[in-house]
Chains A and B, each alone.
Chain A
Amino acid sequence: ETGVTQSPTHLIKTRGQQVTLRCSSQSGHNTVSWYQQALGQGPQFIFQYYREEENGRGNFPPRFSGLQFPNYSSELNVNALELDDSALYLCASSHASGRPDTQYFGPGTRLTVL
């Protein structure tokens, strides 16, 4: 196991609602990245947080936002949910630069938007 945990495991929401997903990083890691993985697709980079500041962002609208806390746990918030937001949301924790070879993924949260 990687030591990265995510909650909840599964979630069902309706269009227009807001959702908060949570990630607890591996001990000693100060960087967290969030990804969206739609069915049959590879993970899409949403954004990365390093020491509580956003440190890189993919091609996602502002209604996708995040937070990183002093203990390096993290939240992904999505406002005004759309049907296409249905996906597996993965967080990955790492140390320092956040290079993929040091990223450890959590098991993901599967979000269904009806």
Chain B
Amino acid sequence: RKEVEQDPGPFNVPEGATVAFNCTYSNSASQSFFWYRQDCRKEPKLLMSVYSSGNEDGRFTAQLNRASQYISLLIRDSKLSDSATYLCVVENTGNQFYFGTGTSLTVIP
């Protein structure tokens, strides 16, 4: 079983839509959780950390459910510039970091 699993999509949504991405992880001892964004043929860039209490950064909201080993990212009022691949990242013990396969988002005018 993969350490981190994501629906690869693609998600094609109109501008202004709300879209949600989900991610599950297999190691219950995982310590830290993040969402990264990767544009085509570019390096990944940190979007936001994910905390147990949930956290919000503008139009982006991240949630963590440790009991279900589930992470989510919600994007409200989608912009064209949100088109990218969104990667779920889990840190296990021993400084080992695992990325999901990524979920592709295209925002359509």
Contacts and interface: CB of A to CB of B under 8 A. Distances in A.
Nearest to A55: B95
A99 B34 CA distance: 10
Contacts of B36: 100
Mostly, the B contact residues are: strand
Given A55-B95, A97-B95, A42 B87 contact: yes
A35 B100 CA distance: 13
Interface residues of B, number: 24
B91 A100 contact: yes
A56 B96 contact: yes
Given A56-B96, A98-B95, A100-B89, A107 B101 contact: no
Interface of A: 2, 33, 35, 40-45, 48, 50, 55-58, 90, 97-101, 103, 105-108
